[in-house]
């Protein structure tokens, strides 16, 4: 018996789901959990057939709730009925994940039961343009914002440790952005991510995918742009304080100090909790943050004086140029050295308990 569960969220699947399940049943996995995410009546014969199979559990949503919600329904069932298994392998219902690759992910999860395992596709010329373009942009942004290099950020074939599930159930996202939040949580928790090369399979130019390349991508990218959005809000606080002070006759240096003080009080708690999700104690993070602010303020002041005195810049353009010159470096320093994450103490135990029903 392979002490791993298979979880397949399904929305309006076709007979490829039946083929996949029958192939997976040839391997002694603990259980195959299918979540019907509010599929239409035309798909019900498929689910009725799956319900008759041994070691297959069907969970049902009355209405479509999204892929993230379907995954969480499956996680809850597995957490309750298989709490001491190694974990869960999630696969898509459209036949794009081959049984041999699912078995490959299972073997890797057995070898490294505390890491998140990703089935990484290769994006060659045969891949549909919307899939290739969307994944390229997402993985570049993800690496910029987190420092983590991942080949395939949107893969649905994943090996998930059982001790990761309680944390995943706390994610609020209900749709495709749930899978990106999973990766961000790994960064937050210091959990390892391991990629395994898998086959790249698309049917009919991937038209069966329910992923909306515009709407769903915007939801995903919003998660990556938290730092930029906070930066814009902080800039408003900084500039308003600076120009109010300078307009009241305060000199340039002290106006800059007041502006940075106001922006620190606004930016620090939000950066720690909502952008970098850092769990480091304030006594560790805050002194480093203040040191960066002081250093940045002095460098910005020096650049502003240089631009105003040597290049005849007016005050506002000088401040904008100086701030932009430090923007990316400030982010990298915060991510890598200030809002870091302590390594978790992760332990797992294993057993083969199971239940045939889905609550």
What's the CA gap between 290 and 205, in Å, rounded? 52
Count of domains for the chain: 2
Q: In the listed set 205, 224, 243, which residue is the last one of a domain according to the structure?
A: 224
pTM of the predicted model over 0.75: no
101 or 275: whose pLDDT is higher? 101
Listed in sequence order, the DSSP H helices in 82-214 are 99-111, 129-146, 165-168, 177-189
| pLDDT value at residue 9 | 97
Same-domain status, 219 and 298 = no
Same-domain status, 206 and 236 = no
Residues 102, 180, 43: CA angle, nearest 5 degrees: 55
Same-domain status, 124 and 174 = yes
- Is residue 253 one of the residues assigned to a domain? yes
Q: In the listed set 199, 224, 249, which residue is the last one of a domain according to the structure?
A: 224
Same-domain status, 159 and 176 = yes
- Is residue 321 one of the residues assigned to a domain? yes
For 226-263, write each residue's pLDDT tens digit. 777 888 899 899 999 999 999 999 998 899 889 989 99
116 has pLDDT over 60? yes
Same-domain status, 189 and 306 = no
Same-domain status, 278 and 319 = yes
| pLDDT value at residue 34 | 97
209 or 154: whose pLDDT is higher? 154
Same-domain status, 276 and 204 = no
For 42-77, write each residue's pLDDT tens digit. 999 999 999 999 999 999 999 999 999 999 999 999
- Is residue 19 one of the residues assigned to a domain? yes
- Is residue 359 one of the residues assigned to a domain? no
Q: In the listed set 200, 224, 248, which residue is the last one of a domain according to the structure?
A: 224
Q: How far from 21 is each of 146, 188, 192, 262, CA to CA, in Å?
A: 36, 34, 29, 58
Task: Output the six-digit token pair for 278.
Answer: 């850092």
Same-domain status, 250 and 306 = yes
User: Which residue range(s) make up the domain with 180?
Assistant: 2-224
Q: Percent of the chain beyond pLDDT 70? A: 84
Same-domain status, 153 and 236 = no
CATH number for 156: 3.90.550.10
For 30-45, write each residue's pLDDT tens digit. 999 999 999 999 999 9
| pLDDT value at residue 351 | 41
Task: Output the six-digit token pair for 40.
Answer: 């239409």
Residue 183, classified by CB atoms within 10 Å of its CB into exposed (0-12), middle (13-18) or buried (19+), is buried
Average pLDDT, the chain: 85
Same-domain status, 179 and 73 = yes
Task: Output the six-digit token pair for 33.
Answer: 């959990």
Same-domain status, 180 and 263 = no
């Amino acid at each position: 018996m392979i002490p791993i569960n298979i979880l397949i969220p399904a929305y309006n699947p076709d007979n490829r789901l039946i083929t996949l399940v029958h192939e997976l049943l040839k391997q002694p996995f603990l259980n195959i959990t299918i979540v019907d995410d509010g599929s239409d009546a035309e798909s019900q014969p498929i689910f009725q057939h799956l319900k008759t199979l041994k070691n297959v559990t069907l969970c049902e949503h009355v209405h479509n709730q999204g892929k993230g919600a379907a995954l969480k329904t499956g996680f809850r069932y597995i957490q309750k009925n298989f709490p001491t298994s190694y974990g869960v392998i999630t696969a898509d219902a459209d036949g794009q994940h081959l049984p041999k690759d699912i078995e490959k992910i299972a073997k890797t999860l057995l070898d490294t039961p505390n890491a998140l395992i990703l089935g990484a596709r290769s994006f060659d010329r045969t891949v549909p343009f919307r899939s290739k373009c969307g994944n390229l942009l997402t993985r570049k942004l993800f690496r910029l914002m987190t420092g983590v290099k991942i080949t395939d950020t949107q893969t649905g074939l994943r090996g998930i440790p059982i001790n990761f599930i309680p944390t995943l159930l706390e994610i609020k996202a209900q749709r495709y952005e749930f899978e990106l939040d999973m990766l961000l949580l790994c960064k937050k928790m210091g959990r390892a991510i391991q990629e395994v090369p898998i086959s790249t399979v698309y049917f009919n130019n991937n038209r069966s995918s329910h992923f909306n390349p515009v709407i769903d991508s915007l939801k995903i990218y919003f998660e990556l742009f938290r730092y930029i959005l906070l930066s814009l809000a902080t800039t408003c606080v900084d500039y308003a304080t600076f120009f109010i002070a300078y307009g009241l006759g305060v000199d340039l240096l002290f106006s800059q100090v007041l502006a940075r003080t106001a922006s620190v009080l606004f930016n620090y708690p939000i950066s720690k909790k909502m952008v970098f999700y850092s769990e480091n104690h304030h006594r560790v993070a805050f002194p480093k943050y203040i040191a960066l602010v002081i250093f940045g303020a002095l460098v910005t002041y020096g650049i502003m004086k240089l631009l105003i005195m040597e290049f005849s810049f007016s005050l506002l353009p000088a401040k904008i140029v100086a701030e932009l010159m430090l923007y990316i470096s400030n982010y990298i320093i915060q991510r890598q050295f200030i809002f870091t994450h302590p390594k978790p103490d992760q332990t797992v135990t294993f057993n083969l308990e199971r239940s045939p029903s889905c609550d």
